[in-house]
Structure 1
Amino acid sequence: MKKLFFTLLLLAVSSSAFAGDLILYNWSEYMPREVLEQFTKETGIKVKEVTYDSNEAMFTKIKMVKDHGYDLVVPSTDFVIRMSAEGLLLPLDKSKLPNFSNLDKRFIDRDFDKGNKYSVPYFWGSSGIAVNTDFVPLNKVKSIKDLLDPALKGRILLLNDLRGVFAIALKANGYSVNDRDPEHVKAAYEFLQKLLPSVKVFDSDSPKQAMLSNEAMVGQLWNGEAYVANQENPSIKYVYPQEGYSLWMDHLAIPRGARNIEEAHKFINFILRPDVAAKIASELGYSSPNAEAVKLLPEKMRKNPISYPDDEILARGEFEVGLGDATPMYEKYWLKLKTAE
């Protein structure tokens, strides 16, 4: 009981410390500092950024902080579904988002949030496999099952992300990344158990660092992390596994308890401006859903398959959606896997 009291007290203190500022609750390394500074310079609105390393951590915090918490969050698709269903997101006022029209129609008005009532696409991308070819020949890692090679024991990085990790295990067994069949999910868990001795680290804060420091030789990375790693070390290559891979989309949303709703809309509209969205995409390497922003990107980036795969590669990918009533089953296996580290 005392522990809960002090946790809530800490949350209240930390929240009040940001009073008067727009509070952005975001993934680590997912918003360039200069973009936040530019927004403040143009609007006079200060932005305080607090970070998390998983959708699950963000979801738990939003549920705990019911009032005067955060003004903006960046959930992935399955958590947009989950949070809107539980009343944790506020409806958006589209009249305050004129730059919404810049978004590629492929990424809006999708089934998980018809009419984009609660969410605005921020980035989309993939979860693939990065290989440091200074240590591991590229032809040795074409398949997810190649990760089970004894030569890679203790040399692999996995994302600290339930959906991303289970996606590779499900694909390895020929199943959908959104599979809800208990036997299929169990088989995915058993695959991950076999892989676990080869895993050096789970990381979602800045997973590219383990590759750049040579702590891991092969790693599951989001494509933006792989893009930046490849720019720093061209020997780090990005592989789309032959069995298939997961595609994801992250979104800007306003959570329950936001106190700066007007300012949150101004920030979202600012991020949707083509020049701003292009600046963010250029620095972070993720795939932008902003059609007008993509036109402003250098041709070298627009044609880079890490950020913008061609139609043939895209056809092998599968977007993650909500797991519905299968969510507790996945969470149970994820906990068992992580506690066995």
Structure 2
Amino acid sequence: MKKFAIAGLAVVALAGCSSQDEQQVLNLYNWSEYMPQQVLDQFEEETGIQVIYTTYDSNEAMYARLKLLSEGAQYDLAMPSTYYVNKMRAEGLLAELDHSKIEGFDRLDPDLINLDIDPDNAFSVPYLWGSTGLAFNGDVIDAGQVTRWEDLWDEQYQGRVMLTNDMREVFHIGLRVLGYSGNSTDPDEIREAYEKLTELMPSVRTFNSDAPRMPYLEGEADVGMIWNGEAVMGREDMPALEYVYPEEGVIVWLDSFVIPRNAPNPDAAHKFISFVLQPEISAMISEEIGYATPNLEARKMLDEAVASDRTSYPAEADMVNAEFQADVGDDAMQIYTRYWEQLKTGR
């Protein structure tokens, strides 16, 4: 049975109505398979607020949708990754949070709040953090054979490589293989990364950011990129699926709750954030979907098998050369976007 909410699913409310006998609704715009159904059900049961869960498969798609609807009102909560919080905040696409309506903010890891992407967390609250690294099928590839991003260019993997459908992540690996920062804004470096990635394209079988574990589970790909939580979930059905922190440096990201400007029900959004910040709820989410919680009290409640799993909770050695993605600015983004379109169309 599928444990997670799927695109467009309106979950049936279990209790409660508003004072006007009209049920309150929370429109949650999130990555697919990124919120356990049990959490949604329990929130509805305790608050009487119906959750309508709609999904996207990339930050670019989420951003474009919210920008298109910036003058309208459709979503109450979204979950942009790291640098998109800064981008959306700067463009006036987000509503400022009322921290007096949020309980549990003080439980968050000090290293993951008050970042440059959102000083004082005026517009965002951390939800989960994780990494994008290498994956391989241990039944067909020997351990130790894949240790670097650069290994993806090995001709023996031609036609068997999986990449996420994420422009910045894909260019990140091209840049790191060349020795550059994954946050480069240098047009020449971005061009070089594009040229390097064109050499990889004959090996690429698919792009997938909807459920990146599936190409491995379905035998479509043997090696490539994956999010660490997807690797954890994938191991439930495919124990041979291995996760590797590449030597050039893993991609690190932080996904956060934000309230879009003109959200129809910001009060429900604040209630949901507070609900998730409860330690037992944050712990449940981390255990269910394999990503690391920023909630320090929740970490104390984790099952030992989860807390000690380096795929979800990396050791210090795993984070050598790790790099958070940063906002590269509109000029650089236009360059990335142009090359990304050329890369995917083969022109």
- Normalised by the length of structure 1, the TM-score is 0.93
C-alpha displacement of 1:293: 0.8
User: Which residue of 2 is the match for residue 328 of structure 1?
Assistant: 334
Q: Is the 8 A contact 1:171 1:245 kept in 2?
A: no
User: Structure 2: how far apart are the matches of 1:145 and 1:209?
Assistant: 23
Residue 47 of structure 1 aligns to which amino acid in structure 2? V
Q: Which runs of 4+ in 1 moved over 4 A?
A: none
Identify which of 47, 54, 65 aligns with 2:51: 47
Q: Deviations for 1:81-137, whole angstroms, at most 9, x for unmatched residues? A: 111111000000001112111111110011110000000111111110111011111
1:25 maps onto 2:29 in alignment: yes
Residue 75 of structure 1 aligns to which amino acid in structure 2? P
Residue 87 of structure 1 aligns to which amino acid in structure 2? G
Map 1:145-184 onto structure 2 (within 5 A). Answer: 145-184=150-189
C-alpha displacement of 1:20: 4.4
Residue 82 of structure 2 aligns to which amino acid in structure 1? T
CA RMSD of aligned residues (A): 1.5
Identify which of 215, 224, 227 aligns with 2:229: 224
State which drifts further: 330-339 or 50-59. 330-339
State which drifts further: 76-85 or 331-340. 331-340
Residue 322 of structure 1 aligns to which amino acid in structure 2? D
User: Structure 2: how far apart are the matches of 1:288 and 1:49?
Assistant: 21
| Sequence identity (%) | 47
State which drifts further: 319-328 or 156-165. 319-328
User: Structure 1: how far apart are the matches of 2:119 and 2:325?
Assistant: 16
User: Structure 2: how far apart are the matches of 1:258 and 1:99?
Assistant: 22
User: Which residue of 2 is the match for residue 62 of structure 1?
Assistant: 66
C-alpha displacement of 1:335: 1.3
User: Structure 1: how far apart are the matches of 2:224 and 2:36?
Assistant: 24
User: Which residue of 2 is the match for residue 118 of structure 1?
Assistant: 123
Gaps of 5+ in 1: 1-13
Secondary structure, aligned partner of 1:190: helix
C-alpha displacement of 1:254: 0.1
User: Which residue of 2 is the match for residue 270 of structure 1?
Assistant: 275
Map 1:1-341 onto structure 2 (within 5 A). Answer: 20-65=24-69, 66-324=71-329, 325-340=331-346
User: Structure 2: how far apart are the matches of 1:315 and 1:148?
Assistant: 22
User: Structure 2: how far apart are the matches of 1:156 and 1:188?
Assistant: 18
State which drifts further: 229-238 or 244-253. 229-238
User: Structure 2: how far apart are the matches of 1:222 and 1:327?
Assistant: 22
Aligned residues: 325
Residue 235 of structure 1 aligns to which amino acid in structure 2? A
Q: Is the 8 A contact 1:167 1:245 kept in 2?
A: no
C-alpha displacement of 1:138: 2.3
Which protein has the bigger helix share?
Answer: 1
Residue 340 of structure 1 aligns to which amino acid in structure 2? G
Assess, with a 3 A threshold, how the Cα gap between structure 1 residues 97 and 20 changes in structure 2: closer, same or farther.
Answer: closer
Gaps of 5+ in 2: 1-9, 11-22
User: Structure 1: how far apart are the matches of 2:188 and 2:142?
Assistant: 34
Q: Is the 8 A contact 1:26 1:50 kept in 2?
A: yes
User: Which residue of 1 is the match for residue 3 of structure 2?
Assistant: none
User: Structure 1: how far apart are the matches of 2:124 and 2:142?
Assistant: 41
Q: Is the 8 A contact 2:128 2:291 kept in 1?
A: yes
Q: Is the 8 A contact 1:211 1:219 kept in 2?
A: no
C-alpha displacement of 1:148: 1.0
Q: Is the 8 A contact 1:160 1:202 kept in 2?
A: yes
C-alpha displacement of 1:146: 1.1
User: Structure 2: how far apart are the matches of 1:248 and 1:336?
Assistant: 26
C-alpha displacement of 1:339: 1.7
